[in-house]
Amino acid sequence: MRTLHIDPIFGISGDMMISALIDAGMPIEFLLKPLTGVQAELPSIVPVRKQQGTIQGIHLEIGACQLHLSVHDMETLIRATDADNEVKADALAMLEIILEAEAKVHGTTRDEVHLHELAHVDTLIDLLGVATGIRYFGIQRVYCGTIPHGRGFIKTAHGMLPNPPPVTLEILSDFPAFFCDEALEMTTPTGAAIVRHYVKEKMLIPPLEVERIGYGFGSYKTEKPDVLRLMIGATRNPPWQDP
């Protein structure tokens, strides 16, 4: 079975996932194709090779853009893209996970949610980009390692929030997590929604024949590599499970 293992070394975000998918072999043209049909002005998207210590990977540089979208706008733009129906369905499902978590955290309804930072067009790019990468590699099953979170507080449009943000914890409420001595938002709501949508079994990955590896860098300047690692390959049943 075609399998993806997410190794969130320093957390997970949408842009880190896309970067790692590109490093694993997804052409940037394949990523950009569904975005060409988006009826909105999008920022530049440039994959840049980066190295920290002995680790080399891709960092996705997204140009400055002031475009912010309502929930309705984002749903409409996703449905209107040139992407496959499966890609659209995955992107909309991840958006729905975010909306439901935001509604619960803020004590409102899904239709009354205002996304603040997540309303930026980057979120649209992240959702479509990750869904496109999953389809490109023909992924059938996704596993994820224990998810790291930072400490302290982070500054948001809602004001100062405890780290990790409540919406991230809500999305990942029953996933294994550990907490690091890093005053950084290591796992974002979009990253959490990716895990929640694609990871169906919260268990150790079965034996994996690794065919591709991808490293995606984030934007933090830290002593430890701000990186996410993906491993793609075929899983096999352990010998004791074979018929």
Residues 45-104: tens digit of each pLDDT: 999 999 998 999 999 998 888 777 888 888 998 998 888 999 999 999 999 999 999 888
Q: What is the pLDDT confidence band of residue 241, given thresholds at 50, 70 and 90?
A: low
DSSP string over 139-193: --EEEE-PEEE--SEEEETTEEEESS-HHHHHHTTTS-EEE-S--S--B-HHHHH
Enclosing domain of residue 233? 2-241
Domain count, the chain: 1
pTM of the model: 0.92
Q: How high is the pLDDT of residue 240? A: 46
Contact in structure between 99 and 110 (CB atoms under 8 Å): yes
Question: Residue range 90-119: average pLDDT?
Answer: 83
The Cα 25–Cα 38 span in angstroms is 24
The Cα 32–Cα 22 span in angstroms is 11
Residues 197-227: tens digit of each pLDDT: 999 988 788 899 999 999 999 998 888 899 9
Q: How high is the pLDDT of residue 161? A: 83
Q: Where do we find the tokens 């079994």?
A: 201
| Main-chain phi, psi angles of 103, to 5 degrees | -60, -45
Q: How high is the pLDDT of residue 117? A: 60
Ramachandran bin of 188, using left for φ above 0, alpha for ψ from -120 to 50, beta for the remaining angles: beta
**Nearest CA-CA partner of 177 in 141, 214, 202:** 202
Q: How high is the pLDDT of residue 238? A: 56
